[in-house]
């Protein structure tokens, strides 16, 4: 007997285009342990776990569950072996209540009828069994992202999972919600559940996990006891070089306001107010942070400023120009660049090449036009320089962007939008799901732009990131500015968390306006 509940032996995945996602990878999981799976973007972590969950078929290799050789060809097969996966992006239906989402696809009816009251009652009892105290009668759209995360975990447990794969489970949680989740995960571990924890937050790995496996370039390069390695040493083994975890942001005198937002109000299609009388400025050479739990207006705000939403009241000025009635193209001509939260949906053309995605908005400017013809040689030379500058892992600039890992796709978006020193840069979650080396690069690029007098509006779920690079921070709760931090380095993440959860609120936030 090996003592492992899961053993993956010599797993390889080679795609038809020759891309090697996994190369003879070995991975093992003990009963009652929380095991971190770490590595750079594109290292092969997601592929390996998607193989275990039956979403991808391996090219070769074997999977053993409790010493028994098994075949897992679909998620249904994985559930038969008591394996459940909680994905980074939630798979819940907003218009249904929590109980309905819990049992969706596994409804246990009597005589073909479903009793809603009984479903809610049973769901509440099921949640309490695992120490998740939740009111299951609430609609998904009305609860916090922390509750959504718990429902996703309970969905896997409801279907009988004893082995949980958690992909970036704390990516959008406040420090308080993360702490609460960890208490519940440790209880599951104590009850004999085994958990694979995929994360780029190494401090959380140190706090929660027992062992860790590090992947690099599609291979497993080591298995360690978490207690034996410091955060710095883990990051070095992941990246293959020393990583600067803390760096000083040079002081800079702020210039005039590049963005002025006044009395911005926005209602969604359901008539719910998502932005509540928002006013603030972003100045030249300033990084203004936004701290907010998902669903509290940050994305609505940034999408409105970028021109993606038009049905709002209030005024938006960029370099003194009122952009309310301007098209997205006209707004970009004012010097605005935008990094969206959903890189695949809103940031790239996934069936196009890297080089086309890097210059998609620039051909009209005539930058790559010579003698009325597109200069592909110049375009590809430019693309190669960006691939090198941003350490984008790919075969070459001709690669289809959909073949890249999520983190490397993000680097392409960042490389395009950060180019040519934009006047105003609006960034939504630039380092979510990004490895520590890529995050370090992106943060330094933001600071470089700040030194070049660009104004930056940054929304990030990583509160340490906001506190490290931002000159000041506004906090949103239910679409309203409820807090303003002038000196982020003097506060703790937990302090921001209280505002984000609506526990605290400042009556005077006039400092956000530069007048």
d(CA 55, CA 280): 45
In a domain, 497, yes or no: no
Whether residue 158 is contained in a domain is answered as: yes
What is the token pair recorded at 471?
Answer: 């000159």
Give the list of residues 6+ apart from residue 51 with CB closer than 8 angstroms, or none. 8, 11, 13, 22, 57, 58, 61, 63, 72
Strands 455-459 and 424-428: parallel
Cα distances (angstroms) measured from residue 448 to each of 155, 181, 252, 286: 44, 36, 11, 11
Nearest to 339 by CA among 415, 287, 394: 415
The pLDDT value recorded for residue 2 is 67
Distance separating alpha carbons of residues 269 and 105, to the nearest angstrom: 28
The per-residue pLDDT for 387 is 92
146 lies in a domain? yes
Confirm whether pTM is higher than 0.85. no
Name the DSSP class of 228: G
- With a CB cutoff of 8 Å and minimum separation 6, the contacts of 290 are 298, 301, 302, 457, 458, 459, 460, 473, 474, 475, 476
Positive or negative CA dihedral for 470, 471, 477, 478? Answer: negative
3-state secondary structure 32-83: CCEEEEEECCCCCHHHHHHHHCCCCCCCEEEEEECCEEECCCCHHHHHHCCE
Question: CA geometry: angle at 162 spanning 156 and 166, to 5°?
Answer: 55
- What CATH code is carried by the domain that includes residue 225? 3.40.50.300
Which structural domain, as residue segments, surrounds residue 123? 4-239
Residue 415 lies in a domain: no
DSSP label at residue 250 = P
The alpha carbon dihedral of 171, 175, 177, 181 has a sign of positive
Question: Using the 8-state DSSP alphabet, how is residue 401 labeled?
Answer: G
Residue 88 resides in a domain: yes
pLDDT at 508 (0 to 100): 84
Angle between helices 231-239 and 436-451 (to 10 degrees): 90
Number of domains in the chain: 1
Residues in the chain, pLDDT under 70: 1-2, 106-114, 242-247, 515
* Model pLDDT, residue 360: 86
> How big is the chain by its Cα radius of gyration, in Å?
24
Task: Give the span between the Cα atoms of 122 and 372, in whole angstroms.
Answer: 69
Closest CA to 305 of 284, 329, 336, 277: 336
Q: CA dihedral defined by 146, 151, 152, 155, rounded to 10 degrees?
A: 170
> In the chain, what is the straight-line distance between the N-terminal and C-terminal CA atoms, in Å?
72
Residue 249: half-sphere exposure toward Cβ, Cα within 13 Å:
26
* Angle of the 406-417 helix axis to the 436-451 helix axis, nearest 10: 10
Is position 273 within any domain?
Answer: no
Nearest to 158 by CA among 131, 118, 130: 130
- The confidence score (pLDDT) of residue 243 equals 67
For residue 27, count CB atoms less than 10 angstroms from its CB and return exposed for 0-12, middle for 13-18, buried for 19 or more: buried
d(CA 333, CA 327): 10
Phi, psi (5° rounding) for residue 13?
Answer: -135, 115
Domain-located, residue 361: no
Report how far apart, in Å, the C-alpha atoms of 449 and of each of 249, 391, 452 are. Answer: 12, 18, 5
Q: Looking at the domain assignment, is residue 79 inside a domain? A: yes
């Amino acid at each position: 007997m090996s003592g492992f509940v899961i053993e993956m032996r010599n797993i390889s995945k080679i795609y038809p285009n020759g891309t090697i996602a996994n190369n003879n990878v070995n991975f093992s999981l003990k009963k009652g342990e929380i095991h971190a799976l770490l590595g750079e973007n594109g290292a092969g972590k997601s592929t390996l776990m998607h193989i275990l969950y039956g979403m991808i078929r391996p090219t070769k290799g074997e999977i053993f569950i409790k010493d028994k050789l098994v075949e897992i060809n679909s998620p249904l097969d994985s559930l038969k072996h008591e394996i459940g996966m909680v994905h980074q992006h939630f798979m819940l239906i907003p218009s249904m209540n929590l109980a309905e989402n819990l049992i969706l696809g596994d409804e246990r009816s009597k005589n073909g009828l479903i009793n809603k009251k009984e479903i809610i009652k049973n769901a509440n009892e099921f949640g309490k069994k695992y120490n998740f105290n939740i009111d299951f009668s609430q609609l998904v759209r009305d609860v916090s992202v922390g509750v959504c995360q718990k429902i996703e975990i309970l969905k896997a447990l409801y279907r009988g999972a004893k082995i949980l794969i958690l992909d970036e489970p704390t990516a959008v949680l406040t420090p308080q919600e993360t702490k609460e989740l960890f208490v519940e995960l440790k209880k599951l571990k104590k009850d004999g559940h085994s958990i694979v924890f995929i994360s780029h937050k190494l401090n959380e790995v140190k706090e929660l996990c027992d062992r860790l496996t590090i992947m690099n370039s599609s291979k497993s390069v080591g298995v360690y006891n978490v207690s034996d390695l410091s955060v710095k040493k883990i990051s070095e083994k992941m990246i293959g070089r020393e990583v600067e975890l803390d760096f000083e942001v040079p002081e800079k005198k702020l210039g005039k306001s590049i963005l002025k937002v006044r009395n911005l109000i926005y209602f969604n299609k359901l008539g719910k107010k998502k932005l509540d009388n928002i006013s603030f400025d972003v100045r030249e050479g300033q990084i203004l942070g936004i701290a907010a739990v998902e669903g509290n207006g940050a994305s609505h705000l940034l999408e409105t400023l970028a021109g993606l939403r038009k049905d709002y009241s209030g005024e938006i000025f960029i370099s003194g120009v009122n952009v309310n009635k301007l098209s997205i193209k006209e707004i970009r001509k004012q010097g605005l660049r935008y990094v969206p939260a959903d890189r695949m949906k809103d940031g790239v053309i996934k069936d196009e090449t890297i080089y086309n995605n890097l210059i998609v908005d620039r051909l009209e400017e005539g930058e790559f036009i010579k003698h009325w013809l597109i200069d592909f040689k110049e375009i590809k030379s430019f693309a190669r320089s960006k691939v090198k500058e941003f350490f984008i892992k790919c075969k070459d600039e001709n690669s289809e962007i959909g073949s890249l890992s999520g983190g490397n796709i993000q680097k392409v978006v960042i490389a395009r939008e950060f180019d040519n020193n934009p006047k105003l840069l609006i960034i939504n979650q630039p380092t979510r799901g990004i490895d520590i080396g890529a995050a370090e690069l992106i943060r330094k690029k933001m600071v470089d732009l700040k030194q070049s007098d660009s104004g930056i509006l940054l929304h990030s779920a990583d509160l340490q990131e906001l506190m490290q690079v931002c000159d000041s921070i506004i906090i949103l709760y239910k679409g309203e500015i409820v807090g303003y931090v002038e000196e982020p380095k003097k506060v703790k993440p937990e302090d921001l968390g209280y505002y984000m959860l609506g526990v605290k609120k400042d009556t005077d936030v006039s400092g956000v306006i530069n007048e």
